[in-house]
Amino acid sequence: RYTFTGKGIAVVMPRSPSRAWVEVRIDGVYVAKYSLYASSLKARQTIFSRGWSTTATRTIELRTVTSSSRKLVSLDAFVVTH
């Protein structure tokens, strides 16, 4: 969970064959679920981004969704725009 003040946010994560899924929630509201799978390692991929017309304080939450063969999730960065 990360609280930020800004007009936008991006989530940067690696993708690879062993990566799981991640659910994104903003201010407690489910947005979507994204697969982090890739056939080979791909570092620093923008998985999600969202923008708003006004600056405000918001909270983004990432929830890991795993399977028996795909359990790994790593976060490289949150990028906030003002």
pLDDT in tens, the chain (82 residues): 999 999 999 999 999 999 999 999 999 999 999 999 999 999 999 999 999 999 999 999 999 999 888 999 999 999 999 9
Question: Cα-flanking dihedrals φ and ψ of residue 60, to 5°?
Answer: -105, 140
Closest CA to 35 of 46, 47, 50, 43: 47
Closest CA to 24 of 66, 77, 78, 64: 64
